[in-house]
């Protein structure tokens, strides 16, 4: 018993002195423009998704699902490491869904969707 206790205590002491870096989880969506189920007025809208982690915009996707069910890929801009943006124009009145998939710098993929309406 004594032979295993000493190495375990030494390892515990090393972890206390040299803590393991915190592991980051998946990117969490913090805020959106438009807001969830928001009704926007006019035929154009700014899209902004803000996350709690750095996002790889080149490997992330934004897709607008039109009222008839057709998918329209959107170009994604990145004004800062945790934000993706795009502009949408030509919106007819109806229900839309913004589908997003992002790759965080920790290598995890996160997906979601944001329904909104245009009037």
pLDDT tens for each residue of 85-99: 999 999 999 999 999
Distances from the Cα of 4 to the Cα of 12, 18, 51, 83, 108, angstroms: 13, 21, 45, 49, 37
Cα separation, 70 vs 99, whole angstroms:
12
Average pLDDT over residues 68-76: 97
Does residue 21 surpass a pLDDT of 50? no
If you search the block for the tokens 């329209």, which residue do you land on? 72
Domain ranges of the chain: 24-118
Per-residue pLDDT tens digits for 106-118: 999 999 999 999 9
Residues 16, 9 contacting (CB under 8 angstroms): no
State the distance between the two ends of the chain, measured CA to CA, in whole angstroms: 74
Q: Torsions phi, psi of 96, nearest 5?
A: -125, 160
Confidence at 10, pLDDT banded by 50, 70, 90: low
Residues 89, 38 contacting (CB under 8 angstroms): no
Fold of 24-118: Immunoglobulin-like (2.60.40)
Does residue 22 surpass a pLDDT of 90? no
The two structure tokens encoding residue 107 = 């290598």
| Residue-averaged pLDDT of the chain | 87
Query: Quick one: pLDDT at residue 23?
Result: 46
Does residue 18 surpass a pLDDT of 80? no
Query: Quick one: pLDDT at residue 26?
Result: 84
């Amino acid at each position: 018993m004594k032979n295993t206790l000493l190495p375990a205590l030494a390892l515990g002491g090393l972890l206390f002195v040299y803590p393991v870096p915190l592991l980051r989880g998946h990117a969490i969506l913090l805020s959106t423009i438009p807001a969830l189920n928001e009704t926007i007025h006019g035929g154009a809208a700014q899209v902004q998704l803000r996350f709690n982690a750095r996002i790889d915009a080149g490997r992330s996707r934004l897709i607008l699902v039109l009222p008839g069910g057709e998918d329209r890929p959107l170009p994604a801009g990145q004004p800062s490491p945790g934000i993706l943006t795009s502009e949408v124009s030509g919106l007819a009145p109806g229900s839309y869904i913004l589908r997003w998939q992002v790759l965080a710098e920790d290598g995890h993929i996160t997906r979601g969707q944001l329904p909104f309406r245009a009037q």
